[in-house]
Amino acid sequence: MKFVHRSKAILRSRTARVLSVLLVAAAGAWLGIFLSGTVRSQVGPVETGMSLRPAWHGETVVDASPLGTLTFHTHDAPLRLRITLENIDQERARALLEDPRLADRLPATIEGDLLDGVRMLVVRSLLCAGAGALLAVLMVYKRPKVALVGLLAASVGLAGTGALAALTFRPNSLVEPRYSGLIAAAPSLVGSAESIVTRFESYRTQLTKLVTNVSKLYETVSTLPVYDPDPKSIRVLHVSDIHINPIAWNVIRSLKDQFAVDMVIDTGDISDHGTRAENKFVDEIGRLGVPYVYVRGNHDSMTTQRAVERQRNAIVLDDETRTVAGLKIYGLGDPRFTPDKSVPIDSDPSVLARFARAHLGKVAKPDVIAVHDPDVGRGFSGAAPMILAGHTHERKTTMLPSGSRMLVQGSTGGAGLRALEHAQPTPVQASVLYFDRETGRLQAWDDITLGGLGEQSVYISRHVEADPQRMISPEPTNAPSPTGPVTGTPTPTAGQPLWHQGQSSPMLQRSPTEGDRES
């Protein structure tokens, strides 16, 4: 019995010793990688510095300071490849951009230069990691044989990490970059979503476009290039829940210009209390110079809606369909007006979904449905490929069982006066959506988030629709359909139900406020 206990104790001691050696070797290897420094490499006309660092998530970061950074989820191994664009060879860049023969060879040149730089970086990192593991184990245990075991273990671990990076490498990650930096530089660095969609598999082309765009940006410095619109796309800026925050107009104007959008869709709550005093705020709509499609939110009164309607480029949709810039859009205003607390409001999701289904008869195969509340949007599942909503002040996208995609926008006004109610200010959010002009289907979208109070610092995440031409089918439901007549969204009066199901008690109703009582 004593022999058995002693054997177990020896086994536990050896296991602990082996684990400690492996831990010290791993720490030394990671330290070696940290101290491996930067490899200088010429990629086309761009002088770059490449470095490899341990990270929780595998990614590639392109630092185009001072224009911003691009992050790509290129692999799953716990390594971060950072490529810093340090300088531009102006003469070589100009020659490549102006000479078609050199431009034709540019993809192969860039790819070859990049691979050469990465190979040099990998070799240096491996040598430094091995040296770090060997020295760390030698310093701790002071035994050469143990140090060699640590080196062997580190080598196996590094080989496994490299193999994981190679096996999980995703060239098409260039399609969906995450950008942070200046709004003015964002469109050129992120690239054209339409071109990315039409050439989804062309890795070398996307790599070339990135280097070329950076070269152009550095060459022109003072006058950044305008984002060249693709004639085959319709660009829509989706905003919501402005809540009378003036900064929203600065953001909208900047995004409209930099991304060359064809229209703006606002999914409601442009005001806060729906009063007549707030009507002046919407005058900025008339100065944007592009169509402004609007649906009423639960903080917008009928007076707010009429104020928006008076703007020369505004299109108010309330249970109707309009074709705007080639896109067929159905819009429905929110049935509630929550600032008037004297009226009981039934905001049960099933009630809001039934409210939406009661209006399905007027929905004639639109490309986009715009509503305020996501619960209303779910009631339109299967009626259109794309459903836009807001209300929650938190961005989210959902693929519904019918095949409809619903994009819930955050607050483009940073939730207005509510921005500082929490420990962190509510971010200012909007999205640029790219629709195919021929099919009306969503191809890609950029989620834009402003982290600060100004509109210069911006974070952009590119997303590509995996199956734009997917089948959209009505979503089956066991809920009974409304039996009462539904003829649209009438102007509410005191005590009058806005919508009902043939019942005597109102389920969703609004009453007039100061803003609704017009002479």
Sort residue 320 into left (φ over 0), alpha (ψ -120 to 50) or beta: beta
Cis status of the peptide bond prior to 492, with omega within 30 of 0: no
- Residue-level length of the chain: 519
Query: Taking a C-beta distance cutoff of 8 angstroms, is the pair 435, 384 a contact?
Result: no
pTM for the model stands at 0.74
Helix, strand counts (H, E) of the chain: 11, 21
DSSP class of residue 165 equals H
Contacts of 306 (CB under 8 A, 6+ apart): none
What per-residue confidence (pLDDT) applies to 17?
75
Query: Taking a C-beta distance cutoff of 8 angstroms, is the pair 270, 300 a contact?
Result: yes
3-state SS assignment for residue 249: helix
What per-residue confidence (pLDDT) applies to 7?
64
Cβ atoms < 10 Å from Cβ of 148: 13
What is the CATH topology of the domain spanning 204-340+347-464? Purple Acid Phosphatase; chain A, domain 2 (3.60.21)
Triad 468, 432, 424: Cα angle to 5°: 120
Cβ atoms < 10 Å from Cβ of 141: 17
What are the structure tokens assigned to 4, written together?
Answer: 């058995």
What per-residue confidence (pLDDT) applies to 271?
93
What DSSP assignment string belongs to 489-502?
-PPP-TT-EEE-SS
* Domain regions of the chain by residue span: 13-181, 204-340+347-464
Contacts of 183 (CB under 8 A, 6+ apart): 254, 255, 258, 455, 456, 458
Characterize the bridge pairing of strands 178-182 and 386-389: unpaired
CA 295 vs. chain centroid, Å, equals 23
What per-residue confidence (pLDDT) applies to 207?
62
Q: What are the angstrom distances between the C-alpha of 311 and each of 275, 278, 316, 449?
A: 17, 14, 10, 27
**Could you say which residues of the chain have pLDDT below 70?**
1-12, 66, 90, 93-94, 96-100, 102-104, 182-185, 188-189, 191-231, 341-345, 415-425, 451-457, 476-519
Triad 48, 54, 56: Cα angle to 5°: 120
What per-residue confidence (pLDDT) applies to 374?
97
Strand spans (E) along 66-116: 68-72, 79-88
What per-residue confidence (pLDDT) applies to 486?
39
Using the Cα atoms of residue 373, residue 379, residue 380 and residue 386 in order, give the sign of their dihedral.
Answer: positive
For residue 48, how many C-alpha atoms fall within 13 Å in the half-sphere facing its CB?
28
Query: Taking a C-beta distance cutoff of 8 angstroms, is the pair 492, 516 a contact?
Result: yes
In whole angstroms, give the CA distance from residue 181 to residue 107: 26
Triad 394, 325, 335: Cα angle to 5°: 45
**With the CA atoms of 497, 500, 505 and 506 taken in that order, what torsion angle do they form, in degrees rounded to the nearest 10?**
-40
